[in-house]
């Protein structure tokens, strides 16, 4: 079994646990300042050594992530355990969902995010725990994928996209689903704030209507957590 993210991050960076825990506790305050020291959004996401603390604050290990998903989308983890084929976590961050999938399912697991500081940590963890996760990288303004997938999962990505990209990605990402595939989408709808300057407001109705051009909603239409089925 794996250690938690905090323990692993301490090992990866050489930082003390007390220092990392303090930064996790104050992640949003730290990031609100760090965000404006970068020349662009892409630079912030790729190069910041502080944004990772906000991600770690959401879940320290894959069991905490599973508990969150059970609360947000009842029955999802049970369904994934018996699903086969290719799985993609789009905007996979530190890789906890990929870890959970690699440990609990028979799916062929793929990670996709920007190639930068956070993805380097994720790849280090996959190597450390000998998890069979394949790494893929996207750019901030667009993406292309080498495969189609049976399940695409995306958590806490859309609120980081400007409104035009939110719609474009909502139309494009489901096109990489195989017929009958599932698209699981979780979006933070809190919107823009001084505490989270990297967030945009999300028109959830417009985003879901864009996803609906290729998919039928199985759960959570116009809600922050939803599940979609690619029309045959």
- At 34-51, the pLDDT tens digits run 999 999 999 999 999 999
Report CA Rg, the chain: 17
User: Binning pLDDT at 50, 70 and 90, where does residue 67 land?
Assistant: very high
- At 88-146, the pLDDT tens digits run 999 999 999 999 999 999 999 999 999 999 999 999 999 999 999 999 999 988 999 99
By the 8 A CB rule, do 110 and 137 touch?
Answer: no
* pLDDT of 27 strictly over 70: yes
pLDDT value at residue 231: 86
**Owner of token pair 């689903």:** 177
pLDDT value at residue 202: 98
pLDDT value at residue 195: 92
Q: Please give the mean pLDDT across all residues of the chain.
A: 97
- At 172-213, the pLDDT tens digits run 999 999 999 999 999 999 999 999 999 999 999 999 999 999
- Structural domains in the chain, CATH included, are 61-230 (3.40.50.150)
User: Binning pLDDT at 50, 70 and 90, where does residue 2 land?
Assistant: confident
* pLDDT of 1 strictly over 80: no
């Amino acid at each position: 079994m794996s250690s938690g993210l905090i323990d692993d991050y301490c090992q990866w960076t050489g930082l003390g646990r007390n220092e990392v825990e303090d930064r996790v506790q104050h992640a949003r305050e730290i990031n609100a300042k760090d965000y404006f020291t970068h020349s662009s959004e892409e630079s912030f996401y790729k190069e910041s050594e502080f944004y990772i603390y906000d991600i770690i604050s959401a879940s320290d290990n894959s069991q905490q992530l599973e508990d969150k998903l059970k609360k947000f989308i009842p029955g999802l983890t049970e369904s994934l355990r018996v699903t086969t084929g290719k799985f993609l976590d789009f905007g996979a961050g530190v890789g906890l969902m990929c870890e959970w999938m690699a440990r609990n399912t028979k799916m062929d697991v793929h990670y996709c995010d920007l190639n930068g500081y956070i993805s380097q940590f994720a790849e280090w963890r996959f190597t450390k725990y000998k998890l069979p996760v394949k790494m893929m990288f996207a750019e901030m303004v667009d993406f292309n994928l080498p495969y189609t997938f049976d399940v695409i999962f995306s958590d806490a990505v859309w609120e980081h996209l400007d409104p035009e990209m939110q719609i474009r990605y909502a139309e494009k990402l489901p096109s990489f689903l195989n017929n009958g595939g599932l698209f699981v989408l979780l979006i933070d709808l809190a919107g823009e704030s001084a505490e989270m300057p990297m967030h945009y407001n999300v028109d959830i109705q417009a985003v879901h209507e864009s996803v609906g051009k290729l998919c039928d909603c199985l759960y959570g239409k116009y809600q922050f957590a939803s599940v979609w089925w690619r029309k045959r």
